[in-house]
């Protein structure tokens, strides 16, 4: 069985690969080189922490403020069970509570998704056509309510590919129209994250997200990985992932400074 601490270690090491890391023990702060939105700038505990952290959290706030970011934490609740109460006592509020789900090839073979007529899922690697990458980015931005009418340039697409080096992207088209996407993040120690599963609102409920997730999982196991994990934003998303073989294992939390 996969130890949940392994997932927390993966998330920390993955952040080290992509972000600027600033140690403020017992935390490490991670900053995106360009973007300032909270979801790409956050702190992760180095180990289970609790107790009087007022002075440390003051330092965390100062470092985030110096970079014009809001102080924010992401962590697995079971790996730091005493942290959430301390954050709340020091002016942080719960921003997200999501189900962390794991799929294991040892437990059972991945469940194939039902065939969706007209659906084509294309893997996109480092040499991907920029038009396809742009289409994927625009689908994800619309699906995640980031932008109703995204305009992604070729420069944006190149930067996106560089930022996600080693990631396999998946673009889903239905009768030639881009409708969904997702990604399989780079593996670390036999584990990888499935992320960014998104379907345009008008195409939901057709099994498309299930099919994209299933292909990402199949890709992971074909590469010899033992486990993949993801986070489900709500029960509906969780049911989609359960169809592919994921099971809830823990709870992922995000806390943000109340002044945000």
What DSSP character marks residue 203? G
- pLDDT above 70: residue 186: yes
pLDDT grade for 164, boundaries at 50, 70 and 90? confident
Enumerate the domain spans of the chain.
Answer: 4-98+253-257, 119-244
Q: What is the pLDDT, as a whole number, of residue 161?
A: 87
CATH architecture of 119-244: 3-Layer(aba) Sandwich (3.40)
User: What topology does CATH give the domain 4-98+253-257?
Assistant: Aminopeptidase (3.40.630)
Q: Using alpha carbons, list the distances in angstroms from residue 56 to 26, 28, 92, 106, 119.
A: 8, 12, 14, 41, 50
pTM, entire model: 0.92
The interaxial angle of helices 235-244 and 208-222, nearest 10 deg, is 50
Residue 252: partners with Cβ closer than 8 Å, 6 or more residues away: 74, 75, 76, 77, 96, 97, 98, 99, 100, 231
The proportion of the chain whose per-residue pLDDT surpasses 90, expressed as a percent, equals: 75
pLDDT grade for 111, boundaries at 50, 70 and 90? low
**Residue of 64 and 50 predicted with greater confidence:** 64
CATH topology match: 4-98+253-257 vs 119-244: yes
Average of pLDDT values for 145-149? 75
């Amino acid at each position: 069985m996969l130890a949940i601490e392994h997932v927390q270690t993966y998330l920390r090491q993955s952040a080290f690969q992509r972000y600027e890391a600033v140690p403020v023990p017992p935390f490490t702060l991670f900053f995106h080189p360009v973007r300032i939105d909270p979801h790409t700038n956050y702190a992760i505990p180095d180990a289970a922490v609790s107790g009087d952290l007022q002075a440390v959290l003051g330092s965390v706030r100062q470092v985030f403020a110096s970079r014009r970011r809001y102080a924010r934490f992401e962590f697995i609740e079971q790996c730091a069970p005493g942290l959430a109460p301390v954050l709340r006592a020091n002016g942080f509020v719960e921003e997200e509570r999501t189900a962390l789900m794991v799929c294991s090839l040892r437990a059972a073979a991945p469940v194939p998704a039902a065939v969706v007529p007209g659906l084509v899922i294309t893997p996109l690697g480092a040499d991907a056509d920029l038009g396809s990458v742009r289409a994927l980015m625009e689908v994800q931005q619309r699906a995640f309510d980031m932008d109703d009418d995204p305009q992604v340039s070729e420069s944006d697409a190149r930067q996106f590919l560089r930022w996600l080096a080693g990631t396999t992207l998946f673009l889903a088209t239905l009768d030639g129209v881009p409708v969904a996407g997702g990604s399989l993040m780079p593996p670390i120690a036999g584990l990888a994250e499935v992320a960014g599963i998104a379907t345009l609102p008008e195409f939901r409920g057709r099994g498309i997200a299930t099919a994209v997730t299933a292909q990402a999982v199949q890709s992971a196991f074909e590469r010899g990985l033992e486990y993949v994990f993801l986070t489900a934003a709500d029960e509906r998303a969780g049911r989609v992932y359960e169809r592919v073989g994921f099971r809830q294992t823990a709870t992922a939390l995000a806390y943000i400074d109340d002044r945000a």
